[in-house]
């Protein structure tokens, strides 16, 4: 099996692409912690809050993937 080494530029692109992905995971996790408080404040059901959280997570992931593709195509 042949091994291919990553160049410095490829490593930077990977790092720059993975940092926003990690930050979005961290952000969604922090929102999960405050969901009970939000639910009691706005009198929303659990399923309604889950839809909001799913939309929030999808928008973060979509923008992260978009930036990663843009960076990869720039090379």
Q: Is residue 3 part of a domain?
A: no
Q: Is residue 22 part of a domain?
A: yes
Q: What is the pLDDT of residues 6-65, one digit of tens each?
A: 888 888 888 887 887 788 778 878 888 888 888 889 998 888 888 888 888 787 777 767
Domain ranges, residue 26:
15-74
Query: And the tokens for 28?
Result: 């969604």
The per-residue pLDDT for 73 is 76
pTM here is: 0.51
Q: Is residue 65 part of a domain?
A: yes
Q: Is residue 64 part of a domain?
A: yes
Q: Is residue 36 part of a domain?
A: yes
Q: Is residue 6 part of a domain?
A: no
How many domains does the chain divide into?
A: 1
Return the biggest CA–CA distance within the chain.
58
Tell me how far apart the alpha carbons of residues 61 and 27 are, in angstroms, rounded to a whole number: 11
Q: Is residue 41 part of a domain?
A: yes
Tell me how far apart the alpha carbons of residues 52 and 31 are, in angstroms, rounded to a whole number: 10
Q: Say if CB 5 and CB 49 are below 8 A apart.
A: no
Tell me how far apart the alpha carbons of residues 15 and 7 are, in angstroms, rounded to a whole number: 12
The per-residue pLDDT for 18 is 82
Confidence at 1, pLDDT banded by 50, 70, 90: low
């Amino acid at each position: 099996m042949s091994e291919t080494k990553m160049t410095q530029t490829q490593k930077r692109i990977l790092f720059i692409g993975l940092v926003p992905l990690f930050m979005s995971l961290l952000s969604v996790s922090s929102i999960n912690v405050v969901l009970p408080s939000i639910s009691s404040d706005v009198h929303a059901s659990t399923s309604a809050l889950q839809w909001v959280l799913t939309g929030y997570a999808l928008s973060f992931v979509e923008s992260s993937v978009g930036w990663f593709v843009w960076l990869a195509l720039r090379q």
